[in-house]
Amino acid sequence: MRYVGKMALLGFFAFFSGILVSIVYWAVLFLRFPNTIYRIDEGFIPQNIYVEKGQSVRFVNLSHRAMWPASNTHPNHLAYPAFDPKKPIAAGGSWEFSFTTEGAWKFHDHISPYVTGYVVVGTIGKKALASQCKSPSVEIRENCWDDMFDTAFSTGGISVGLALLETLYKTDSLFREQGCHQHGHRVGEMIYGRYIKGKNIRSVNFPDSMGYCGFGVMHGIFEHLFRDVSDIAYARDTCIYLEKRFSNSVPGIRVNCVHGIGHGFMPEPPPREFYDKPHEMIRRALEVCDDPTVSKTKEESDQCLQGVFNVLVYWMVKDQYGLSYPEKGVFDFCQSLQKPSHQEACTAEFSMHLIKYTGSDLPMLVSRFIDHIDDPRRQKYVLGFAVPSIVEATVSKDNFIALTHECMNLEEHLRSTCVSAIAGGLLAHGVPGEEYKRALVICSSDSLGLFERKDCYRHVLRQLPYHYVRDKRNKICYEFPQEYQKECLDLK
């Protein structure tokens, strides 16, 4: 017993000695290099720092992976565009930036955006930190929203955080203008960083509101989960487990988990030798999605593959890793792929970004891209993925009846696809928990013909099981015209 007591005492002493050594180590670093922020595996140290205008801050990467410190907002870094190295900083590397503009500059690791901090510059920065919730600038206001979410998650857990997402969307017009899906991704990243990273996901209880914002919350979680744990067996088993546990309470959780596999198996940054080689960047992720033990149905395969190409196209749009989004021959890369399923998923993701060149102008999108596609089936496919992006970009303006009129002015074979895509876009980007309401308004529009109206209602019907639990779905069914109510109630 004496021996055991001595060993316990030695263990206790060793434990606290280790803590003391760690404290001394960081204290010496902070005193010797006062304007330095270190990226370790757990986050930034210190998380917040104050400097005078004109002083530089050095970011040192002591973690085991690349970092990319940049100003909010993620992923565009618009709050302070110069505060961005424009590329990853390898493990062991560093980057220095001189802050010539006073302000309270929230930053994040672009590769792991749930890891955040503040650089407060000058006396204006101190004042800005206190008043950012009243700022008319979305880049500054986002700092306030992030702090509100931090408080919500800290005090009430995931359900309270998602309730705040719903409240902000309904009450803050500036929040709403940024699009629900983008906010959903951000909130999902916060949930991942706070509750899941480095822990067992099986200990997390997901509420039914996980489907908010076109599944953006789930996308934000699964992308980073499978990027951090890039193991096929783990990814497959995780999706199987989540399906068994939550299939009745969190609609769409399995298919979105599989979509996240496609995201996550695209490492960021990609290996340096793959820069400017898009086929090499996607090779392994495509093999994972093609594995029948990962994607059990065509729908799951499509979602997984779209997750892969979503990441690739995003890098192209942002001119990252030697890639660029083509101004001509937009779909040429997709046609260079060998498998039809790969071509189809690639085309879907490229279609979502056509508004890069046409904005929210539907007639321009059709004349510039759709009219140059020979195959009518492919025309409808591209249009069906392009129109929801217009909806997302204009969701706060609520001018979708006018957009419906534009659909009805298209060639006859495109009208139904266009109208249904508006309704689908509203399901993805509408008011959290009430997405279906504006979709049904579109389907009931007087401007629609009988064929377009039927297709619209049936498109919304088919999407309901992915968005709402059965009890809520059955109540929604009675908001459809009577001729669709039985079909709605019979949905599995």
pLDDT digits over 409-424, tens only? 999 999 999 999 999 9
Query: Which tokens hold the place of 249?
Result: 């309470």
Other beta carbons within 10 angstroms of residue 440's beta carbon come to 17
pLDDT tens by residue, 28-81: 444 445 789 999 888 898 888 899 999 999 999 999 899 999 998 888 898 899
Phi, psi of 107 (to 5 degrees): -130, 170
Q: What percent of the chain has pLDDT over 70?
A: 93
Q: CB count, 10 Å around CB of 273?
A: 8
Task: Please determine, for residue 294, whether its predicted confidence score (pLDDT) is greater than 80.
Answer: yes
What's the rounded mean pLDDT across residues 313-336? 91
* pLDDT single digits (tens) 178-218: 778 889 999 999 999 999 998 999 999 999 889 888 899 99
Say whether pLDDT at 146 is over 80. yes
pLDDT at residue 99 is higher than 60: yes
pTM listed for this prediction: 0.84
The sheet carrying 69-71 orders its strands as: 48-51, 116-121, 103-109, 69-71
Instruction: Spell out the residues 6+ positions from residue 415 whose beta carbon is closer than 8 angstroms to its own.
Output: 407, 408, 449, 452
Q: For residue 135, count other CB atoms closer than 10 A to its CB.
A: 16
Position 355, amino acid: I
- Superfamily for domain range 33-146: Cupredoxins -  blue copper proteins (2.60.40.420)
Asked if pLDDT for residue 7 goes beyond 60, the answer is no
Per-residue pLDDT, 33:
54
Residues in contact with 410: Cβ distance below 8 Å, sequence separation at least 6, in sequence order: 366, 418
pLDDT at 408 > cutoff 70 = yes
Distances (CA, A) of 92 to 48, 67, 88, 95, 107: 21, 10, 12, 11, 20
User: Is-contact 139 78, C-beta < 8 A?
Assistant: yes
Name the band, by pLDDT with cuts 50, 70 and 90, for residue 15: very low
65 and 42 in contact (C-beta within 8 Å)? no
H helix runs in 265-361, sequence order: 278-290, 298-317, 332-335, 340-352, 355-358
> Is 404 within 8 Å of 414 (Cβ atoms)?
no
Tokens of 373: 């596609």
Q: Which of 376, 398, 400, 385 is nearest to 354 (CA)?
A: 385
**Closest listed residue to residue 74, CA positions, set 9, 138, 150:** 138
Lowest mean pLDDT among 83-97, 142-156, 343-357, 409-423: 142-156
Domain residue limits, the chain: 1-30, 33-146, 179-260, 265-329+336-353, 355-492
**Banded model confidence at residue 21, pLDDT cuts 50, 70, 90:** very low
